[in-house]
Amino acid sequence: MLAFITLPVFSASVIRQAKEALKKKQNLEQTAKSLLEEAIKPGTPQKDRIECYQLAAECAQRINDAENMKLYLKQAYDTTKFFNAIADIYDRVYKADSISEMPDEKGKIQNSNRKRNREYLLDYRTNLLAGANWFYRRNQYPKAYQFFGTYIDAASHPIFEKDQFLQNDTMIPMAAYLAVVSAQATNNPDGIIKYAKLAKQAGMKSHLVQEYLAKAWEAKKDTAQWEETLWQGLSNYPFHSYFFTNLLDHMVLTGHLEQGLAVVDSMIHLHDDQPLYWYAKSLIQLKLQRDSDAIKTCDACIAMDSTFTDAYYNKGIAALNLAVIATENACTEIGNPQTAKDLETIRGYYLLAKEPMERVRRDQPENKERWAAPLYRIYLNLNMGKEFEEMEEIVNSQ
């Protein structure tokens, strides 16, 4: 009983000491700490809690004023402390306002400070954004995200309800874009998701915002949202390969090959001059065992981009697949004319595979795992003794 009786008295003592410290401009950080500790103690009256937060905000204001004066006098000042004080002002005033919106012991809500708090915070709004940019330019992304977020979230805070910042503040979309970039840099998927929609309104690098959003949903293991975001990205930014490649990879991994092929065909129909789409089509055709079609698709891709190594690889693999199938179905009857024809067909497939696979070797000499085994088979079946011996040595060394 004595503890509960003395709590209000102790609150008054902390408040009295805080007012004295503010008057003398001394021990402001410690004073703010004591006020904040008192504000969250069980039993501290609502009125005292509000005053604790308001006084803690004034402590932050005095700290900011002190650094600002140093700047004005061209003296050395602490920029981090200058901006952090502004964030503290917003945080503490918000808390005071939140408590003021709670019913008192008589069930009444008396928030007479909201108008004054609005004017108080508006004085620091510009510097809040300046702080966000200052931290961002120095790659201090967690702090940058915090400041951008505070700047943006003010638009939906009840204190600024009449200001309609979302409609009137043209800097908010840019702040949202930089908040998303900061969140991406710190692996903060929730931060990306929170501001992505606003960030796209900035009108710059929206495709990257969409990519970060997809990665955020993937990180949260929300497959449905991830797929939807990829589809939206593919529709809105068809030339940004991230959406196309990831969506197609997902379809292949989940066995939706026909659906994947339909997606590729739709993209080719819209943009038939993009080698990536033709290569992707050949990849799915290979998995569907449509090897002859894959060879034609690879030829179309190579005609657009003669340096597309992966297209040469797919063509070589498709030709090897046809050689295997032809061998399995070949006539083996001695003296039968069909036997010679089938052997010539098989040889033709190995010859067809030889040139593109040798191109893969020239383009990627260090990637022996990719081309050594296919060339081993090719040289063996074409009776290329010298080349076969070289390839046998490479394969055995793997």
Query: For 39-55, what is the mean pLDDT?
Result: 91
pLDDT of residue 50 exceeding 50, the answer is yes
Q: What is the pLDDT of residue 335?
A: 86
pLDDT tens column, 113-127: 899 999 999 999 999
Q: Once rounded to an integer, what is the mean pLDDT over residues 289-312?
A: 97
- Taken in order 205, 208, 209, 210, the sign of the CA dihedral is positive
Average pLDDT score over residue span 285-308 = 97
Do residues 252 and 284 touch, judged by C-beta distance below 8 A?
Answer: yes
Looking at 8-12, 32-36, 172-176, 393-397, which range is the least confident one?
A: 8-12
Residue 10 has pLDDT above 60, yes or no: no
How high is the pLDDT of residue 11? 67
- Give the pLDDT score at 56: 95
Among 101, 135, 168, the domain boundary falls at 101
Is the residue at 75 inside a domain?
yes
Q: Inform me whether the pLDDT recorded for 110 exceeds 80.
A: no
Region 331-337 average pLDDT: 90
pLDDT of residue 271: 87
Which residue is listed with tokens 């021990």? 27
Contacts 24+ apart (CB under 8 A), 138-147: 139/185, 141/181, 141/182, 141/183, 141/185, 141/186, 142/182, 142/186, 144/178, 144/179, 144/182, 145/179, 145/182, 145/183, 145/186, 145/188, 145/191, 146/87, 147/83, 147/87
Q: Is the pLDDT of residue 6 over 70?
A: no
Q: Lowest mean pLDDT: which of 14-23, 124-133, 366-375?
A: 14-23
134 assigned to some structural domain: no
**For all residues of the chain together, what is the average pLDDT?**
93
Domain assignment of residue 191, yes or no: no
Which range of residues forms the domain containing residue 281?
A: 273-398
The whole-number pLDDT of residue 385 equals 93
CA atoms within 13 Å, Cβ hemisphere of 140? 13
Instruction: With respect to residue 300, please indicate whether it lies within any of the assigned structural domains.
Output: yes
- Judged against a pLDDT cut of 90, whether residue 26 lies above it is answered with no
| pTM of this structure | 0.82
Residue 301 counted as domain residue:
yes
| CATH number where 384 lies | 1.25.40
Contact 113, 97 (CB under 8 A): yes
Between CA 66 and CA 71, with CA 68 as vertex, the angle to 5 degrees is: 115
Average pLDDT over residues 377-389: 96
Q: Is the pLDDT of residue 191 over 60?
A: yes
Domain count, the chain: 2
**Dihedral angle of Cα 158, 162, 166, 171, to the nearest 10 degrees:** -100
In the predicted model, is pLDDT for residue 7 greater than 70? no
At residue 178 the predicted structure's pLDDT band, cuts being 50, 70 and 90, is: very high
Q: Greatest CA separation found in the chain?
A: 114
> Considering the domain boundaries, does residue 263 fall inside one?
no
Domain boundary among 75, 101, 127: 101
Residue 3 has pLDDT above 70, yes or no: no
In a domain, 114, yes or no: no
Tell me which of 101, 120, 152 is where a domain ends. 101
- Report long-range pairs for 73-82 (Cβ below 8 Å, ≥24 apart): 79/134, 82/131
Measuring CA to CA, how many Å separate 337 from each of 278, 324, 343?
A: 39, 20, 10
Query: Residue 104 pLDDT more than 80?
Result: no
Q: Which two tokens stand for residue 384?
A: 């290329």
Whether residue 284 is contained in a domain is answered as yes
What six digits make up the tokens of 199? 């960030």
More confident residue, 20 or 179: 179
Residue 75 tokens read as 């003296």
The band of 81, judged by pLDDT with boundaries at 50, 70 and 90, is very high
Neighbours of 267 (CB within 10 A): 20
DSSP letter (8 states) at residue 305: -
% of the chain residues with pLDDT over 70? 97
Quick one: pLDDT at residue 270? Answer: 87
